[in-house]
Every structure is written in C-alpha cells, then in structure tokens.
Amino acid sequence: MDKLSIVGNGPLRGEVRASGAKNAALPILCAALLSAEPLVLENLPHLRDVSTMLELLRQMGASADQDATQLALTVPQVSQAVAPYEMVKTMRASILVLGPLLARCGEARVSLPGGCAIGMRPVDQHIKGLEAMGAEIRLEHGYIHAVARRLRGARIVFDMVTVTGTENLMMAACLAQGETILENAAREPEVGDLADCLNAMGAQVRGAGTDTIVIAGVPALRGARHRIMPDRIETGTFLVAAAATRGEITVTGTRAQALDAVLEKLREAGAEVNVAPDQIHLKAGKPLRAVNVRTAPYPAFPTDMQAQFMALNAIAAGTAVMTETIFENRLMHVQELRRLGADIEVEGNTAVVKGVARLTGARVMATDLRASASLVIAGLVAEGETQIERIYHLDRGYEAIEQKLAGLGASIRRIT
C-alpha cells in the first residue's frame, strides 16, 4: 500500500491550479444515465472515485470516450439497472444512480450502502422522496429494489439537508410526469452545477442554489456539453496548507464565492486573502490565531474542511472550539494529530484544540479522505518526517496532490 512521506520545510509558495470538483463530477456522471445521447464533460478530475463511478456506469451499458481534455459518456441503452454491493461498498456516492436509473428504466436495484467511517449515513430521504414520486420500494437482500412505470411530480420536504439526496431526487424528477418541488433542499454549489448540466441536457430545473428547487418533468433529455466546476474543498485545502506553513500562494481556476465561509475563517486566523473572479491569493505573514468552527450545510462552514482547519488550529495561538454537526463520527483525525504533538480534547462532537508551538513528525494513519488532508497539512508544518499510511483515501478525492504540493515547494514523496 502506498504511503506519503513529508518533511516539514517551511512556507508553501507559488501558484497551483484547482481541479474539477469530485462532488460535482460524481452526480453529473450519473446524469448521463438520463439520456441516450452523449454527455461531454470537461474539467473532469482524475480521481479514484471518478474511475469507480465510470466502472459502475460501464457495467450498466455506458461507453466512455476520453481524451486529454474531455470525456464523452453515452448510455444508448441501460443493459442492467443494478448497482451491486461490491461497487457501492467501495463508494457510497454510487447511490446517485438510483434516481436516474429509476427515471430512465422504470426499475432499479441498488445495494444499500452500509455504515461508513465518518457516520451511519442512512439513505432514508432518497427513498422517501422516490416513494412520494410514486415508486414502489422494497428493501430485500441488502438491496433497494425500486419500481415505477413513470415517476410523477410531488412536493417533497427533506427532514434534513442532504446533498446527494437532493441530487438524486432532482435527477429523478427531470423525467417525471409533472412538477416536483424539493423543499429544504441542499444549497451546495455542486447541486447548482448538476442543475446547470441537467438544464443543458434539456431539463427544466429552477431554484438550485436556494432551498426550494422546482423541476418540471420532460419526456426525454438530450446530449450536452458541460464543464465541471472547480473543487472548492481542494482549493480550501491548499489555502489552509499555505496558511499553516505561513506561506503565500495563488490558487487559479477556482471560484472564490463558493468558499466564502472558509475564506472568512482564514482571514479571522490572520491570513491576508484577496480574490479575483477565478483565483484566490493568500499570504500568511503574521502568526496565526486559533479560530472556532461549527460545521453546517452550505453556505455555512463545510464539514469537508473541518479536519484541515483542525491541523491549522493545532499550531495557532490560543484555543479553538470546533463542533462537527453533520456527521457523528468525523473527528477520527484527532488521535492521529495527537501523535504529531497536537493538544486536542474531544467531548461528543466537539473538539477543543489548544495551539502548541510545534508539531513533530511521526507515522500516522489516514482514516478518511479529509482526515488524510489534515494529516498532510500537519506533516507540512511538523519538524522532521511524517509518514502517512493508507493514502488510498487521499487518492479518492485529491488529484495529483503530491505533485501539486511539490510544485509549491513542499518536500513530499510517495512511497509505493
């Protein structure tokens, strides 16, 4: 299994380009199931989760034609409307095929995702919404078996904000008979990117980006071309890494407005942040201050940035209270950060982080994607060598992370 070796060697400096967003790419790939014509995607990131999703779609009859700049995905016919356990257990986002398959084929069998490292993550909202649209759903042998000759529009109020739940129902509603209204919908920018892609395919989706999304069903969708939005979490991760090392970087090809809450916290920590339409410049000359963080659905502070900020708070002046409200088990990086010398106490879903003067390199274990990113940041500021094991988590969601960080001056290498 690959490991990363990082030797803390001072400030990150230079320019780095944002890749396409993983969490926009995954639902958008599934949108290809809604049409028999090609969906051409630009700015698709090279990630393990994207390869896994493509493999799943191929099993269902998709053909993919990829060159250096774009991927053309075509599903002339769905050969089997099944997402098997073997695929879903490796990537929960596989649940995103459920809505499109049901809408296109009238039937779908998708394995129930089990629990996951960061929480229980049930999919009851996806199921409840499809039932409201007329689907008959049985849970049998570990699978969701859904049948609906044609889905019909409905008004659905989510019990909590769910990103993939919103995306699944939005895709299903595109081919339903009549109008669907999604209330308490997720406002994450990736939901908006999916809506843009669906509209380019001929769907009628309004209100994405607000908590009420209205979809007028149409009989069929056509092929389209779409450019995947930049990855705001990757951008945020580089900015936090630069701040923690007291460096100065510019992230290009990104969208600053999708990162408001994160940029605000970086400023509060003492970094200078300047934005242009498609780039963000950060300079962290002064010592950093610890900042309190409470995760919540967009536009508030994202759970996907909590671990990275914990690494920053670990070496900032003062004490930070960090509360995770989205997932019940997303503080697993605490134990590993402690191995590097961080002073962190956990009570329930709250971590109290007391800044220390220095971290020291050690061997640590990545437990999930964003936890891995926090260990990389901690490794960049720690004295001596940090070795991070199980970095396959990192490869799921960060494109060429060691090359990008090395380009900013980090001493980082992969041990295979």
H or E stretch including 345? strand 343-347
Give the three-class secondary structure for 74: strand
Least Å distance, CB 128 to ligand EPU, is 8
The residues annotated with a catalytic role in the active site are: 116
Query: Considering beta carbons, is residue 184 or 319 the nearer one to ligand EPU?
Result: 184
Residue 119 near residue 159, CB atoms below 8 Å: no
Write out the residues near ligand EPU by the rule CB under 6 A: 23, 26, 93, 119-126, 160, 162-165, 303-304, 326-327, 369-370, 397
**Bond before 84 cis per omega within 30 degrees:** no
Query: Considering beta carbons, is residue 143 or 327 the nearer one to ligand EPU?
Result: 327
Six token digits for residue 351: 């971590």
Q: In 3-state terms, the chain is what percent helix, strand and coil (to 5)?
A: 35, 30, 35
Least Å distance, CB 49 to ligand EPU, is 8
Residue 284 near residue 246, CB atoms below 8 Å: yes
Least Å distance, CB 158 to ligand EPU, is 8
Least Å distance, CB 253 to ligand EPU, is 19
Residue 395 near residue 48, CB atoms below 8 Å: yes
Distance in angstroms (rounded) separating the CA atoms of residues 310 and 301: 13
Query: Considering beta carbons, is residue 84 or 299 the nearer one to ligand EPU?
Result: 299
Rounded to 5 degrees, φ, ψ at 209 are 105, -15
Distance in angstroms (rounded) separating the CA atoms of residues 85 and 111: 5
Query: Considering beta carbons, is residue 82 or 158 the nearer one to ligand EPU?
Result: 158
User: Shortest CA distance to 353 belongs to which of 366, 341, 363?
Assistant: 341
Six token digits for residue 339: 């191995």
Least Å distance, CB 274 to ligand EPU, is 27
How many CA within 13 A on the CB side of residue 200? 20
User: Shortest CA distance to 118 belongs to which of 384, 318, 307?
Assistant: 307
Least Å distance, CB 92 to ligand EPU, is 6
Query: Considering beta carbons, is residue 110 or 315 the nearer one to ligand EPU?
Result: 110
